[in-house]
């Protein structure tokens, strides 16, 4: 894609920067988040606009809205998997002994820590795969990476989590 093909859309984002930012700020309640989303919108428009759409400004607002939805989903998923210890207690099975429940709780905390320690892109891929149950192809499309890269991130994350559990158990 030639840079001149992108130019009208990126210029349109620049021209309507304050309007788009205000729109996003009303939705997020945060000026800095809105500014970040406008910048990500500019990048996305510059990367993905093969030709000028029929409604360029509508396309830009839709892109900004989609990025906001992605951010909200990410935050919701992050909160679901990285919550306080109180949530771990709620996950205990009533049929286990207190000792078994304590072991399960420790392992869940170890796994949460292991996932939290993954590199950002690897963690995002793994949470989409395990948490959202998306296919490798769906993740690749959503994150704009190859299916092979998604598979490598998943394998790396699973190996990392297995290793953490193995180290904690003291097994070879």
73: DSSP letter: H
Residues 131-155: what's their mean pLDDT?
A: 89
List of domains in the chain: 3-78 (1.10.1740), 84-169 (1.10.10.10)
Which pTM value belongs to this model? 0.45
Is residue 172 scored above 70 in pLDDT? no
Q: DSSP for 90-127?
A: HT--TTS-HHHHHHHHHHHHHHHHHHHHS-HHHHHHHI
Which pLDDT tens digit goes with each residue over 67-95?
A: 888 888 877 776 655 555 444 444 445 55
Which pLDDT tens digit goes with each residue over 53-64?
A: 888 888 889 989
Which pLDDT tens digit goes with each residue over 117-133?
A: 999 999 889 888 887 78
Longest dimension (CA), the chain: 67
């Amino acid at each position: 894609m030639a840079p001149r093909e992108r130019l009208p859309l990126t210029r349109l984002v620049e021209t309507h920067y304050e309007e788009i930012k205000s729109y996003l700020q009303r939705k997020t309640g945060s000026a800095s988040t809105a500014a970040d989303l406008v910048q990500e919108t500019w990048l996305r428009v510059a990367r993905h606009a093969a030709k000028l759409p029929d409604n360029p400004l509508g396309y830009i607002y839709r892109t900004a809205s989609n990025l906001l939805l992605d951010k909200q989903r990410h935050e919701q998923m992050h909160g679901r998997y990285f919550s306080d210890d109180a949530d771990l207690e709620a996950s205990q099975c009533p049929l286990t002994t207190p000792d078994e429940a304590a072991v399960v709780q420790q392992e869940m905390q170890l796994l949460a820590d292991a996932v939290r320690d993954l590199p950002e892109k690897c963690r995002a891929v793994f949470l989409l795969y395990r948490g959202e149950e998306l296919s490798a192809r769906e993740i690749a499309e959503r994150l704009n990476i190859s299916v092979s890269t998604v598979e490598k991130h998943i394998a790396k994350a699973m190996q990392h989590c297995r290793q953490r559990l193995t180290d904690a158990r003291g097994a070879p």
